[in-house]
Structure 1
Amino acid sequence: MRWRAADGRVLQGWVGGADHGPLVAVLHGCPDTRHVAMTGDGAAREVGVRLLCVNRPGYGASTPHASTHVTVADDLAEVAAGLGHDRFAVLGMSVGGGYAVACAARHPDRVSALGLVSAQPPGSRTESPEELAEEVAPEFHDWRAAVGPDEPDDEVLAARWCRGLPSADAALVEARGATAVAASVREALADPAGYLRDAALVLRPWSHRPQDVRCPVRVWAGELDDRSSPGAPELVAGIDDAVVRVWPGTTHLAALVAHWPEVLAALADPAGTGRG
């Protein structure tokens, strides 16, 4: 699906899950896209929630621009309103955590719950996003060339992608099938702008702190996550209504993809039995 932002930019995304019910809006990781939310489609139907994921600027067909945590948060709130949801939960996966926190903090009357999975803490660099993007660009372009998103053979591209993942995460990705995996990789890496903007912003402080959030906060992390420390739940220290769970024997992506039902139930009803 595609929407238009107030300034005319294209926003590409996906809506799935149940036809009716509360909305959970997913902020994807890096490099990733709306495709990660698609892995939760079946679970969302079972739990009875709608799922939304909007590609950040520079990913897929979403127009690249000088985005920030704030602009991404406001884009998401605008799309949710257009879908008829005055209230919704936000779920930040990995690098998406900073954007999810910004959305919950900026729209307290609309965000019902904040979920963070495999969250990475804020950075501390003070250079401009443009300077930081230029710094990380050479390493990214070398890595992108090794992945080869222009590879026409789905099986070959999917295999290259999965080789760079922990075995547990690779198994979850492979289960989607080579065609789906290849489509996801191409969408995530077709334009370097998406990754480079994310990589720059993740090195900088977040625009808002989790402590600025007024809704219930639910945090999940994987015990074996080698990409974001299980210590990341310390971000919620001092928040009255925060629940943290570390999944034993679980890697980065698996913290979400292997636990969609629990995560969605907790966000749909944070005060009920789905506290995660």
Structure 2
Amino acid sequence: MRVSGAPLLIEEFVCPAQDGFPLTAQIAGDAEAPALLLLQGQANSHRWWDGLREAFECSFRTVTMDYRGTGRSRGEVGPWTTTSFAVDAAAVLDRLGVDAAVVYGASMGGRVAQMFAANHPDRVTALVLACTSPGGIHAIERSQDIRRALARASSAERLQLLHDLFYTADWPRPPQESALLGDPSMSRQEAAAHLRASDQHDAWDVLPSIAAPTLILHGQDDRMTPVDNAALLAERIPDARLQVCPRGRHGFFEEFSSHVTPAVLGFLASQVAR
């Protein structure tokens, strides 16, 4: 096991997807520990988990991947979906010889995690969904004002707007230091493909089939993905637990990590120990 506070050593490797697309993935932690698959938000690489994954290293072997169109996973842009991203995640676990993992997905990563858990039920031992949505006609969408503001903003304005949507005014770090606000190396075509994948997600009909013990987390003041979506997920996924973070916005799991991460670790420990 990695000693708490020791430098985190991340091993990176290339994993061909089912269609041959070169996916880049990362692992860290004890190879003998249970695998924890971390799935980040839309238009983000594995860097989303910088500063967060370390807290899990004493208990789990963390597994991340750069989604197609992010980080080092680059190739032809296609009709990507949350289901296809889940298939890519399965390919990464196959490459590592991991039969089953605990899965923690945030934002669009939560959408991908839903499809992974529904389509690969034997491969998920526990599931954590943060600041995410079931998608489709039942989802509670962000306001049109926010959509228009994001669409019309310049690059600098968009970065500041995203920062305000992710963090409260008490968060001390500037937008340029956040790992959650998008991969700046993405092309417009890649970013648009990610947006379509997230917007077209609809897991409503398959959510009741999720058999893994599930913890649903959300920020009370999330305007990117309104908190009412958490209740919808909790109602659809059998026996799911729901925790809402007071004052939390879309990046609540980072801003309030001193409370949120122990809650996740406690939930996962209770399930892995079974």
> TM-score interval w.r.t. the shorter chain?
0.7 to 0.9
Give matches, 1:33-52, under 5 Å.
Answer: 33-46=45-58, 48-52=59-63
What amino acid is the match of 2:173?
E
Partner deviation per Cα, 1:167-189 (whole Å, 9 max, x = no partner): 846876838x96x658x767354
Q: Is the 8 A contact 1:87 1:112 kept in 2?
A: yes
Q: Report whether the alignment pairs 1:202 with 2:213.
A: no
Alpha carbons 1:90, 1:115 under 8 Å: kept:
yes
Letter in 1 for 2:193: R
Any idea what SS the aligned residue of 2:163 has? coil
- The Cα offsets for residues 227-250 of structure 1, whole Å up to 9 and x where unpaired, read as 111111222315332111001222
Query: CA 1:169 to 1:77, structure 2 compared with 1: closer, same or farther past 3 Å?
Result: farther
Separation in 1, partners of 2:264, 2:225: 18
CA deviations over 1:91-136 (Å, ceiling 9, x no partner): 22112222111101111111111211011330349xxxxxxxxxxx
Alpha carbons 1:33, 1:188 under 8 Å: kept? no
> Cα distance 1:192–1:53, how it changes in 2: closer, same or farther (>3 A)?
farther
Structure 2 regions of 5+ residues with no counterpart?
1-11, 139-147
Asked if the contact 2:218/2:243 (under 8 Å) is kept, the reply is: yes
How is 1:1-276 mapped onto 2 (pairs within 5 angstroms)? 1=12, 2-46=14-58, 48-62=59-73, 63=75, 64-124=77-137, 143=153, 145-147=154-156, 161=159, 164-166=162-164, 168=167, 174=173, 181=178, 187-206=183-202, 209-233=206-230, 234-256=232-254, 258=257, 259-270=260-271
C-alpha separation between the residues in 2 aligned to 1:215 and 1:33? 26
Which residue type is aligned with residue 196 of structure 2? A
Measure the CA separation in 2 of the matches of 1:113 and 1:140. Answer: 34
How far apart are the structure 1 equivalents of 2:161 and 2:247? 20
Q: Are the equivalent residues in 1 in contact too, given 2:208–2:238 (CA < 8 A)?
A: no
| Contact 1:11-1:61 within 8 A present in 2 as well | yes
The separation in 1 between residues aligned to 2:172 and 2:100, in whole angstroms, is 31
Instruction: Give the SS at the match of 1:219.
Output: strand
Alignment partners' CA distance in 2, 1:8 and 1:170: 44
% of aligned pairs identical? 23
Relative to 1, partners in 2 of residues 1:181 and 1:13: Cα closer, same or farther, differing over 3 Å? farther
SS at match of 1:114: strand
Root-mean-square deviation (Å): 3.3
- Contact 1:3/1:12 (<8 A) preserved: yes
- 1:90 is paired with a residue whose SS is strand
Quick check: 2:216–2:243 contact (8 Å CA) kept in 1?
A: yes
TM-score under structure 2 normalisation? 0.75
- In structure 2, distance between residues paired with 1:81 and 1:169: 39
- 1:190 and 1:268 map into 2 onto residues whose CA distance is 36
CA apart distance, 1:77:
1.1
Distance 2:170 2:30 in 1: 26
Task: Report deviation, 1:38.
Answer: 2.4
Instruction: Quickly say closer, same or farther: Cα 1:187–1:59, change in 2 above 3 A.
Output: same
Give the length in aligned residue pairs. 246
